[in-house]
Structure 1
């Protein structure tokens, strides 16, 4: 059976300092590979990320950004639903206003009251 080394994780600070040292020329890529037992491909990926500014400590983690976007999308979907319902209600109200006649019904009192013509007999 072949023994596999555990999966290693490196901090953002370590990656940033190593990439800064390589870009400054104080250490070469091969020296970094040997000193830290890293693959050349991994160092190349880190350097690409470093050049794009992804090791900036003020930058939010991707999971946090995705969570904020999901919350914002849900909020906007609720707002669209609310506005759609309001628009439908306004359309129904306008239709009812245009088709008004003498037989209008009121929600509270029912049909329009008959005008009073005098005293009761």
Structure 2
């Protein structure tokens, strides 16, 4: 049983840049193969995807995933802060905002001040 080598992964930006350089004539295929140490079949597959516009979709999907990961991290930080705040509130005794002599309700709060008459 032979040991297989690990697969290299190339970013969508690298693929797009390489295909753009080949298609514009900045770089020849053979030169790209030698400098990047890539197989001809792989470069041909990237060029086909590039011509169809599939590499741009892959790049957009990668950036969308990065945006989602950033949003998830921000939400996780917010949840952590809210949990810490809730734990702190659970540990502190309830403060009475209204004296014992006044009737109050959780919904309506303390009774309003007496009203002497109509507005003038």
TM class, shorter-chain normalised? 0.3 to 0.5
Bigger radius of gyration, 1 or 2?
1
Please give the TM-score of this superposition, normalised by the length of structure 1: 0.45
Please give the TM-score of this superposition, normalised by the length of structure 2: 0.45
